[in-house]
Chain A
Amino acid sequence: MTHDDFEAIAALDAIGAASPDEESALRGHLASCIPCRRARDEFAEAAALLAKDLDPVAPPHDVRERVFEDVTPFEEPERDRGFFSRWGLATAATLFLALWGWREVGIRVMRERVRTQQADMQRLSDEKQVLELQREKLAAAVASLASANTQTIALTGAQMSPSAAAKVFMDSDKHRAVVVFANLPKCPSDKSYQLWIIRGDQPKPQSAGVFDVDKGNATITIENLPVMTEIKGLAVTMEPRGGVDQPTNANYYVVGKT
């Protein structure tokens, strides 16, 4: 996964909408990525806007009283016991600091070792999570391809990319479709391909996901496919990176009727 992918997960995580797998992959990544941690914090601050948008409501006064009954004041610092006590304390503190400094050298070496081992473990754990996610996606895609009820639809390259092609494997039982693209041109770094579903019951196309191609190829899985409604067709446009709500242009790369 790229930093953009993790940033997209961080956006969902801030409103509690990341899936457990996404959340776990994000936690692993954040341990070692400062820019993504910053993005996560910014999304958390942005999520708070949803709460701040509500009109404030003053709680009943007795809640305030209950809160203050429940909080325990921290222990007060010990009182001054005079010169000898202060001198004793100073000596003890000096001795303690000397011993502490000597120990600290040893501890630092150990800490460095532990840190290296933790970083290795974290890296392996991240890789495991990524592989696990890929395995799950692959298993779901293979199950849909192998299903007896899977319907296959061919999409063809459009004006922007006549040599491109795609096949849709639509598994109505699982409300899932796997779309395999071939021969699509490479996207500029600030753009992504976006797949659109044209539904009979909706006036505007619905986004079915954003994807990039690797050597012209890509596979995208659509979950929760609205099989109960008429799907008139599918189309692919090139959009600003990360996707948009509605297509910003009618330059289709791949189109097809279902």
Chain B
Amino acid sequence: MGSFPSPATEYLPAVARGDLAAFESLYDRYSSTVYALLLRILGNADDAQEVLQETFVKAWSNARMFDAVRGSEVAWLISIARSRGIDRLRARRIRSDRENDAGREISHRSAFVDHATGAEDAIRSQEQRAVRGALVELPEAQRIALELAYFEGLSQSEIAARLGEPLGTIKTRMQLGMKKLRERLKAYH
């Protein structure tokens, strides 16, 4: 990545060479993070699992396109998963106008269980604490606007309409929120 180094780029270069063991490690390392994101976006375990599968299959076939200079491998995976998840969410909205929101039965703060080793756990919880700090520091209004765009795929106007705020306010909030996250990330690295 440009100004800050990519943390943990370990597996994708080997995956790009067709190394299945590296791909297994990639899956074991990040599937829990990606699955949590997809549950948050889709609110439905079946859909989340299907998109998780698509995400990793795409990661396998497109690993050559990963560029460590541009970002970390987890951010690359997250961006594939988010894009596919939002596509699925929009398709579902069109089909059923989201029959009801009651399907969001899965808490996005559920228990953490995965295949990580103790050392990986420690590194991850350190990262997690730093990340939590970044989001907690954001004013609530900025965080809400960012989350509506990121997890629900809403446009600026849709967010403005939902929150009953002028479009300019929403735009400014999202830009300030993203600036703060970027600065926080720079400070962390």
The answer for the CA separation of A17 and B152 in the assembled complex, in Å, is 10
| Chain A residues whose C-beta falls within 8 Å of the C-beta of B174 in the assembled complex | 11-12, 15, 17
- Whether A55 and B169, one on each chain, are in contact in the complex, defined by CB atoms closer than 8 angstroms, is no
Binding site for B on A (CB under 8 A): 8, 11-12, 14-17, 19, 37-39, 41-60, 63-64, 66-68, 70-71, 73-74, 195, 197, 206-210, 222-226, 242-245
Interface residues of B in 33-62 (CB under 8 A from A): 33-37, 39-40, 48-49, 52-53, 56-57, 60-61
Chain B residues at the A interface, C-beta cutoff of 8 Å: 1-4, 17-18, 20, 23-24, 27, 31-37, 39-40, 48-49, 52-53, 56-57, 60-61, 70-72, 74-75, 78-79, 81-83, 86, 106, 108-115, 124, 127-128, 131-132, 134-135, 139, 141-142, 146-147, 149-151, 153-157, 159-161, 164-169, 171-176, 178-179, 181-182, 184-186
Q: Which residues of A contact B178 (CB under 8 A)?
A: 11-12, 14-15, 43, 46-47
The reply to whether A16 and B150 contact each other, CB–CB distance below 8 Å, is yes
Contact B112 A57 (CB under 8 A): yes
CB atoms of B166 and A226 under 8 A apart: yes
Q: Report yes or no: B165 in contact with A224, Cβ–Cβ below 8 A.
A: yes
Partner of B20, one of A54, A64, A73: A73
- The contact of A206 among B40, B72, B161, B166, by CB within 8 Å, is B166
* A48-B75 in contact (CB<8A): yes
Contact A38-B166, Cβ < 8 Å, known A11-B174, A12-B174: no
Contact of A52 with B1 at beta-carbon distance under 8 Å, contacts A16-B153, A19-B155, A57-B39 already known = no
Is A64's CB under 8 angstroms from B49's CB?
A: no
Cβ B24 vs Cβ A55 within 8 A:
no
Contact B2 A42 (CB under 8 A): yes
Known: A38-B2, A63-B49, A67-B27. A55 touches B127 (CB 8 A): no
Q: Is the CB of B165 within 8 A of A206?
A: yes
Considering the complex, give the chain A residue whose CB is closest to the CB of B7.
A45
Please indicate the chain A residues that have their CB under 8 angstroms from the CB of B172 in the complex: 207, 209-210, 243, 245
Task: From B36, B131, B139, B166, give the contact of A224 (CB < 8 A).
Answer: B166
Q: Which of B52, B112, B159, B169 contacts A56 (CB 8 A)?
A: B112
